[in-house]
Amino acid sequence: MIKFFRKIRQKLINENRFSKYLLYAIGEIILVVIGILIALQINNSNNKRLDAEREFKYLSNIKLDLTKDIESLEYNIDFRQKKARGNERLINQINGQPIQDLNETTYNVVNTLYQERFQPSNVTYNDLVSSGNMNLISNDSIKIYLFELSLLYQQNIFNIEHETAEYDENISKPIFRLADIERMKPVFLGEKTAQQVNISEEDFKALFESLEYKNGCVVSKWTSEGMIELYQSIKGKSENLIALIDREIKK
């Protein structure tokens, strides 16, 4: 009987030890799980912080690019407006309107040789796309504006290629054949007057009789007017995008 009670007592002691060990093991597992969850939370927080810092840097650089672009666009718009007006005067004179200012006509003829092209500072955007980091930009409106601007940049490239082909064929060739650029250059630069370098209406007669030059001036005017409209659109979207970025950065 005594042995029987001893066995029961030992069994209870063993069961109590097992329960303690089981509770201890469960507690250890819970602590490990909690530790893993805390580590994951910290890691996620760090990743979010790093992504936010990278987004801030991208947005800041995009804003810098757009600010440079706006300055370039303003210059190009002004250049195109002046060129379109100059081409229009040349077309009128080719069509028979008397030349009233030889200095102006000389300037306009030489200016048809000059080309100014808007080249966007879209290095940051290209990096976003090529690196697959576009998902870092959390504001969908900013993404849409960036995409719309990229389409306008493509249109700009197409216009430039078209203008270059027209320029090579219908502007530079007839001018180099029919005009004395060396004599006209000081007038274009404002260093001398047409009278001082003996430029007369006769110096433009052969050029103005060239149909290819007339067509070149017409196409150049159309192209400049189209470029003005395009550049104004790019400028407006760039300004709106900068405003969006400013609001996003201040959050």
Joined together, the tokens standing for residue 229 give 């409209």
Average pLDDT, the chain: 87
pLDDT > 90: percent of the chain: 63
Please state, in angstroms and rounded to a whole number, the distance separating the CA atoms of residues 87 and 185: 18
DSSP 122: -
| pLDDT recorded at residue 12 | 44
Q: Where are the alpha helices (DSSP H) in the chain?
A: 2-94, 102-111, 123-131, 140-167, 173-178, 181-188, 202-208, 211-250
Provide the residue ranges of all domains of the chain, joining segments of one domain with +. 52-250
Share of the chain above pLDDT 70, in %: 85
Angle at 99 between CA 169 and CA 84, to 5 degrees: 45
Instruction: Give me the mean pLDDT over the 195-208 stretch.
Output: 95
Q: Is residue 110's pLDDT more than 80?
A: yes
| Both structure tokens of 66 | 């757009």
Query: What per-residue confidence (pLDDT) applies to 193?
Result: 96
pLDDT at 75: 96
pTM of full prediction above 0.85: no
Helix axes 140-167, 211-250, angle to 10 degrees: 160
Amino acid at 90: L
Spell out a b/e string for 85-120, using b for 16 or more CB atoms within 10 Å of the CB, else e.
ebbbbbbebbeeeebeebbbbbbbbbbbeeeeebeb
Q: By C-alpha distance, which of 55, 74, 70 is closest to 245?
A: 55
Q: What's the CA gap between 170 and 215, in Å, rounded? A: 7
pLDDT at 206: 95
